Every structure is written in structure tokens, then in C-alpha cells.
Amino acid sequence: MASSHGKLGSSVYERVWRMAMEMNSATSVGETLDIVRKDCGQIVPFDVFMFLRMPGSGAGIPENPSGHNASFLDNFWLDYREGGFYEDDPAVAVFTKPGVKNVPFRANSAPKFYETPICRELLKKYHINVYMAMRMEFAAEKRVLGLGQLAGSRAYTQKDEDILALIGPHLSRSIEYCELLEKSRPESATTPLEQGQAAVWRFSLDMEITETNAPAERLMTRWKEGGISHEAGGRSVSLPRDVIGLLMTARNMWMAEQRSGSSLLHAPASRITVNAVREVYDFQAAVTRPINGASGVSITLVAERGQCDRNLVINRVCNLTLREKEVVMMAREGRSNRDISEMLTVCEQTVKQHMSSALRKTGARNRTELIHKLYGPEPH
């Protein structure tokens, strides 16, 4: 499968990679956004929107008509409207219309939004280099903000979109990880209730999923050095810490779904037990953050689903280096050595060396067998 990013030059990949590495070493959302503000202007043109997921854009807040905890956006547009900028601007409607998703937005107002005094004041207030209407996107069941087009400016090109597609997943993962860290810090809790919640974030994950005509299944996990231990059916399973955030996200979204009576996950609760964990692993396969500074951890995940007579077993043999895991992940997507070398800004020979090392470490004879060993059998 040909790479969709094949037309980008090596210098672009190098800048994106450096930015991604900075984001993956961040320990707070603020630090991540600082990196975005500092670096993105060097990679994409000023009038191309950044793929930017705002802090606090978690699951289901009832009082927010869009279904997003988007206080940042609410405040922005409140200032925008109160400042007298085009009451009939369609940008306002985008963020006040319930259920908006995957809506590319183009503003037709004139003059150029970023040239107006109110925009400059807002950008200064909110510390972002470019911002206006964005589309809401539900990718991998994550609430993220996508990209759009500034009023009166040129349309963003396929190259711009390819660059943002490279940056976006790194940014989303970095914020996901940092939000977990911030929620788990004891000092972030000021009330007994918040302290109790922080303790839950630090030490356990309790996810109950009720299936039709099936008992609730409780997945109890506890933090341990290097990961968490999961007891299921007498089996002890170790999960890396950078996976726990997405598991918790799945749990919180499910809980919000139960409270609101609507489906945030776009799937029946009966499917979450098996599929959500697998999706978490598929999503986390691209994580570039080392686990506790180590190059990898051996993982075996056993997920049991209600009254099913079989287990979904996903094996991860993670004794690979960071770069080896990335090469394997891209190979799994069907990318050629040339595509991989362009995306990682290394020569093809280096990609071949990483692949050979991964084959040797896992005892696999070829790529197909290697991917099977690392990702396990596909569920049926």
C-alpha cells in the first residue's frame, strides 16, 4: 500500500519527527501545547489550521449542547460574539449545533478573520498562533478537533493535510497521556471527593460493563512497578502504563453513556468488553513514548467476554526497541520499506536492519509471521 505521505520532503518529516519527539516527552498538557505553539508555525503555513485537541475535551458534559467539555471553545466563542464580530458568521453555528461531527468548515466572512482586531486579541489571550472554526472529528472514538480554512485565505492543500495527519496522532496521544498524569497527581485534588477520585486514577481501574442477559463483568486493575496487574480468570496480565489512559477513557465514556442514556462509543455496551481493549491496543501500537524509560515490556492480554465460550487473546512481544516497534507497526499497515524510511527519515537499509532485528528477536521467519506474533490472531 502506497504511503499517503509520499510527496512530502525529508526535511518535513524530520521537523515533524522532532516535534513529535518533543511532545512525547511532555509531562503536562500545557507543555504539549507550548511545543505545538513553538514548532507548528515552522512546519505548516500560518493560515493552515493546526490539528489541536484542547485540554479538557473529555467525554459527555450534559450542559454543553455539543456534547463536549469544551469550556475553552465556549469561552472563545463567547468573547467572539460579545466582541461584535459578525453575528451571522457560520462559525458560531458550528459550535452551537448539537451533534456536529466530521463537518469541514469554511468561513466566508470578510475581511480575513486573523486580520481583525478581535481575532488578534483572542489569539493573544488564548496563546494560539492560528485559530478559528474547526471541524469536530470522532476518530478512534476520541473527541478531537480537526482542521479547517481561514476566511479569505487559500485553501489548505493535500500537502498541508498530510503534514497535519502526521502531527495529529502524536499530539492526541501526548495530550491523552498528560491528562492521565495530571488527573493522577494528588496535589490536583482539593476536596475529599477529588482526592478519592485521584486515588482511583492512581491505583485502580474499575470498569463494569453490563451485557444483555449477561452478568456485569468487572475488570479490576492495580498499579505495579512498570505497569498494572490485571486478574482475570486466574490469569495475571501486565499492561504498560501508557495503555491505562485509553482504558480509562473507555471506562469514562461508558459511564457517561450510562448517565446520559446516549451512545458515546457508537457501539452497544456488549461489544466494548472485547473490542474496546483491542482498539486500545491498535491505537497504542503507535505510541512512541518509552515505558518507564525502558525499550519495551512483555505483554499478554486476556480479555474475557461475558458468557462467551472463548477468550480474545492478543499477544504483544514488546522486547523490541522503540524504532523496531514503529517499523513493525508501519509494516502491519502494508507500507513498503521506502514508505517507512520516508516517514521515519532514515535510509531504507536502516529500515531493513530494524526489521531483521525484530524478526530475530521474535523468532519469526517473515513479516507475516512477525505481525502475527506481535499482534496475535484477529478476533472472529
Q: What is the pLDDT of residues 49-68, one digit of tens each?
A: 333 333 333 322 222 233 33
**Could you tell me if residue 4 is inside a domain?**
no
Last residue of a domain, one of 157, 184, 211: 184
Are 168 and 234 contained in the same domain?
A: no
Q: What's the rounded Cα separation, in Å, for the pair 285 and 324?
A: 12
Last residue of a domain, one of 184, 217, 249: 184
Q: Which three cell numbers stand for residue 248?
A: 480509562
Residue type, 241: R
pLDDT digits (tens, 9 = 90+) for 64-84: 233 333 344 444 444 444 544
In which band, very low, low, confident or very high, does the pLDDT at 158 lie, cut at 50, 70 and 90? low
The strand pair at 227-232 and 217-224 is best described as antiparallel
Are 57 and 116 contained in the same domain?
A: yes
- Over residues 242-266, mean pLDDT: 44
Are 147 and 224 contained in the same domain?
A: no
Sequence-ordered list of residues with C-beta below 8 angstroms from that of 118, at least 6 positions apart, any chain: 79, 80, 83, 84, 85
Closest CA to 287 of 159, 173, 200, 144: 173
CATH number at residue 359: 1.10.10.10
In which band, very low, low, confident or very high, does the pLDDT at 175 lie, cut at 50, 70 and 90? low
**Contact in structure between 7 and 165 (CB atoms under 8 Å):** no
pLDDT digits (tens, 9 = 90+) for 302-338: 222 222 222 222 223 345 666 777 788 778 778 888 8
Q: Which three cell numbers stand for residue 211?
A: 451485557
Tell me if the bond preceding 104 is cis, omega within 30° of 0.
no
Sequence-ordered list of residues with C-beta below 8 angstroms from that of 362, at least 6 positions apart, any chain: 317, 320, 370, 373, 374
Cα 321 to Cα 102, 314, 358, 368, distances in angstroms: 36, 20, 9, 19
Whether the model clears a pTM of 0.75, i.e. scores above it, the answer is no
Residue type, 191: T
**Could you tell me if residue 190 is inside a domain?**
no
Which structural domain, as residue segments, surrounds residue 98?
10-184
Domain tally for the chain? 2
Are 228 and 157 contained in the same domain?
A: no
**Could you tell me if residue 191 is inside a domain?**
no
Lowest mean pLDDT among 160-174, 199-213, 346-360, 366-380: 199-213
Are 168 and 225 contained in the same domain?
A: no
In which band, very low, low, confident or very high, does the pLDDT at 188 lie, cut at 50, 70 and 90? low
How far is it between the farthest Cα atoms of the chain? Answer: 66
Exposure string of 101-124, with b = 16+ CB inside 10 Å and e = fewer, is: eeeebebebeeebbebeebeebbe
**Could you tell me if residue 265 is inside a domain?**
yes
**Could you tell me if residue 102 is inside a domain?**
yes
pLDDT of residue 25: 73
Are 168 and 70 contained in the same domain?
A: yes
- Distance from the Cα of residue 18 to its chain's centroid: 18
